Structure 1
Amino acid sequence: MFLKVLVASLILAIITPVLGADNEAEIEEKVLVYNWSDYMPDGLLDEFTRETGIKVEYSTYDNNEILYARLKLLKGRGYDVLVPSTPLVARMRDEGLLQPLDHNQLPHFKDLDPTLLNKPYDPDNEYSVPYLWGTTGIGFDATKVDASKITKWSDLWSREWRGKLLLTDDMREIFHMALKVNGNSTNTTDPEEIKQAYEKLKKLMPNIKLVSVSPSDDLESGKADIGMMWNGEVVTAQDKNPKAHYQYIYPEEGAGFWVDSFVIPARAPNVENAHKFIDYMLRPDVAARCVKEIGYATASLEAKKLLDASVRNNPIIFPPPEVLSTAEFKQDVGKAQDLYLLYWDKLKVAE
């Protein structure tokens, strides 16, 4: 009898670690997040895990086209949380790639700025929640560029910048410049207006030195002294080198405006954890930290109250009223997207 008990105990001792490992693997809490590069404060994901017990499997992309192509290929699988820009939300929703959010699981949604909610691309924010928002304007090193010569998008077409310009790697942003110079909407679906923007951008090609996924790094390193940039890239460059003279302007024709939002893919494997992650990111102290470390504006009014006056009143991060009054946020352009892509490919071949 003793021998039987001993054998049974030994067998149990051998298989328990294996069973335990399997069970642990099965019950391990995790959330799969796919986000823009350099768009998360250092250490924040580990802090989320320590607080919630949910492990974050995190990966990044450089532009909206990569995000969309990957989610389309996976048919809404593979991730729990994505961070698309405004135009992609409606498109992915209409193609069945997103699932509705449960606002009952997002208690900090109430802190968000109403002016950034209930937009045409997502009525009642059924599918998306604003994370950060910002603008696209002109950034430059004022020690090398005469600020008085830069007030408009059209100034970038000057021969003075031949072989010197930086452009952010974003198709819609680049077309935005030309559309605004031509006096058209950034959301136009008119084939002729899109063609005219393409023709305008062709004339800009001799001035372009590089198309960048990290403008702040290229500005700091001196690879380019002027170009089209997201506002947060200039803020980041200023923070890294306070003695430098990096400046940012809102072009007279109209800056680009966008919102990057949290969404949950249609076939996300960890939906409850996705909501927990999103709400954690909306928490005022966390949202305020994102502004301070990343350089873009938060949609959380409660988070904005936590910011130092120097940050809260920084016109590069939070545009002044006269700029916001002319804001035209980017939206999905539907089937016209194919035409933009056609001309975009032609421009890249011409580089």
Structure 2
Amino acid sequence: MPKSLTRVLIISIWIFLLACFLYGPKFSSASKDSINVFTWGGILNEEIIQSFEKKTGIRVNVNNYSSNEELILKLKATEGQGYDLVIPSDYAVSILVKNQLIKELDRKKLPFFHQLLPELLGHFFDPENHYSIPLFWEVYGLGIDRDFFTKLFIPSWSMIFDPKLVDYRIVMVNDPIEAIEIAAFYLCGPISSLSKNQAEKVKDLLLQQKPWVAAYATSRADYFLATKNSPLAVASSSYIFRSKRNFDFIDFVVPKEGSFISIENLCIPKTCDKEILVYQFINHLYQKESIRVYWDSFRLFPALDDKQDLDFDLQAHKIFYGLAEDFKKYHFFKNLLPQQKMRDIWVEIKVN
């Protein structure tokens, strides 16, 4: 085959794959009795979806993304067409609003709205909650091996950054936004941006930390605890609480200095023309049986101020029912630096 023809063929294949990546959801069922939901993988339990489909006859087609950045990219590329409901994290909501990719919600169709935890409402990414409502939330902290940390201690971010304290291997988050924000919080406290000098100090801190990092992992952080490859992992509460069900030596603690909260929200793309069906599904997600299923499955805290009897252990009970008192200690992940600068820092950390 001539080289020119081979080159054309390769380019054509890449164009096709890119189109599938950006426009794939349009190839899903277009039935008037179906909706397309774009969400994180492993968040919407199949049991919840099946019970809704059986009750209403409405089919739910689920497409997954692996990051908020992927969600934002696809919605920009398609202008939201092909999607009926999305589940972005807090900071991503503000980007979707700014780009006019999601529409205002009709609270008259959300009878549970008054039951939402007030601490989860009215934040920077949607101050009046015109465009989003919280579905569930989690906090970031330290997953620890109680067999290793046998003495009483006060949880602190110094347990992953201070070379005078760290004589063990740790697992660090594998997301540059999260890693840089945690390091910046340790050095500077809660801030909204980093100066050039501060950014260099954050990079140096993460480079200093690297020798005792067993792995950079997000979804598998609990694996290193469970297999005793590391006695400490920086992770979200949901991953650690899931492992606690099977390994009684695993625990979750929140550093004394404070930590970060992540809220997953429901939003309706601006091009959605199936709002009647979407609101039925949204209301299904906030029913008691649904809340119980996704707590049991994913250990994500519900957004409803509902005192139903979920199987919280002592630490989970403390976090959920202490939200009002402790919320001032929680902060949101934000882009402290331009995306390119953040990527440059992360690449330098990974390659050194």
Q: Which bin holds the TM-score, normalised by the shorter protein?
A: 0.7 to 0.9
Match in the other structure for 1:343: 345
1:34–1:61 Cα contact (<8 Å) kept: yes
Correspondence for 1:228: 234
Q: After TM superposition, give the deviation of residue 264 of structure 1 in Å.
A: 1.8
1:116 to 117, 120, 123: 120
Native 8 Å contact 1:168 1:230 kept in 2: no
Q: Percent identity?
A: 21
* Aligned-partner SS, 1:305: coil
Aligned partners of 1:293 and 1:311: how far apart in 2?
A: 18
Structure-2 separation of matches of 1:43 and 1:300: 20
Deviates more, 1:170-179 or 1:142-151: 142-151
Rg bigger for which structure?
1
Could you tell me which residue of structure 1 aligns to residue 262 of structure 2?
258
Question: What secondary structure is seen at the aligned counterpart in 2 of 1:315?
Answer: helix
Distance 2:201 2:290 in 1: 43
Deviation at 1:179, TM superposition (A): 1.1
The one-letter code of the counterpart of 1:169 is N
Find the aligned partners of 1:126 and 1:119 in 2 and give their Cα distance.
11
Q: Which whole-Å deviations, capped at 9, do the CAs of 1:276-308 have from their partners, x for residues lacking one?
A: 222221223322432233212211013x33435
Q: Which residue of 2 aligns with 1:164?
A: 169
Matched with 2:24 is none
Summarize the Cα distance change of 1:162–1:311 in structure 2 as closer, same or farther, 3 Å threshold.
closer
2:274 to 270, 273, 285: 270
Q: Which amino acid aligns with 1:245?
A: F
Quick check: 1:82–1:265 contact (8 Å CA) kept in 2?
A: yes
Encode CA deviations 1:239-294: one digit per residue, 9 max, x unaligned. Answer: 133xx211111112221112111112233353332222222212233224322332
SS at match of 1:182: helix
**1:15 counterpart residue number:** none
Contact 1:31 1:274 in 2 (8 A): yes
Distance across 1 between alignment mates of 2:102 and 2:202:
31
Q: What do you get for the CA RMSD once the two structures are aligned? A: 2.9
TM-score in terms of structure 1 length: 0.80
Alignment partners' CA distance in 2, 1:152 and 1:216: 19
Q: Does 1:327 align with 2:321?
A: no
Secondary structure at 2:329 match in 1: coil
* Distance in 1 separating the partners of 2:222 and 2:44: 16
Match of 2:211 in 1: 206
Task: Supply the distance in 2 between the matched residues of 1:322 and 1:269 (Cα, whole angstroms).
Answer: 41
The 1-side partners of 2:179 and 2:152 are apart by 23
Q: 1:46 Cα shift?
A: 0.8
> Of residues 15, 32, 36 in structure 1, which corresponds to 2:36?
32
| Count of residue pairs brought into register by the alignment | 322
Q: 1:314 aligns with which of 314, 317, 322?
A: 317
Which residue is 1:297 aligned to?
301
- Secondary structure, counterpart of 2:39 in structure 1: strand
Is the Cα contact below 8 Å between 2:143 and 2:222 reproduced in 1? no
Q: Which runs of 4+ in 1 moved over 6 A?
A: none
Give the distance between the partners of 1:258 and 1:284, measured in 2 at CA. Answer: 22
For each residue in 1:299-346, what CA deviation from the matched residue of structure 2 results, as whole angstroms up to 9, or x when unmatched?
1013x334357579622555466533322233566x744433442343
1:81-133 C-alpha deviation (Å, 9 max, x unpaired): 22211111111210222222222222222221122112222022111110111
Distance 2:107 2:185 in 1: 37
2: distance between equivalents of 1:253 and 1:312? 17
Q: Displacement, 1:158?
A: 4.7
Contact 1:79 1:265 in 2 (8 A): yes
Q: 1:150 and 1:266 mapped to 2: Cα distance?
A: 47
On the 8 A contact 2:84/2:274 being kept in 1, the answer is: yes
CA separation of 1:313 and 1:66: change in aligned 2, threshold 3 A: closer
Q: Which amino acid aligns with 1:229?
A: A
Q: Counterpart in 2 of 1:17?
A: none
Q: Give, as a single letter, the amino acid of the residue that structure 2 aligns with 1:233.
A: Y
2:100 partner letter: G
Distance of 1:50 and 1:182 partners within structure 2? 52
Distance in 2, matches of 1:343 and 1:146, equals 36
Asked if 1:215 corresponds to 2:217, the answer is no
Match of 1:173 in 2: 178
Change (3 A) 1:309 1:162: closer
Counterparts of 1:146 and 1:69, CA distance in 2 = 46
State the distance in 2 between where 1:295 and 1:133 align. Answer: 10
Segments of structure 2 that go 5 or more residues without pairing to the other structure are: 1-28
TM-score (norm 2): 0.80
Aligned to 1:197: 202
Residues 80-99 of structure 1 mapped to structure 2, 5 A cutoff:
80-99=84-103
* Counterpart AA for 1:343: I
Q: Is the 8 A contact 1:81 1:274 kept in 2?
A: yes
Output the CA distance in 2 between the equivalents of 1:99 and 1:178: 35
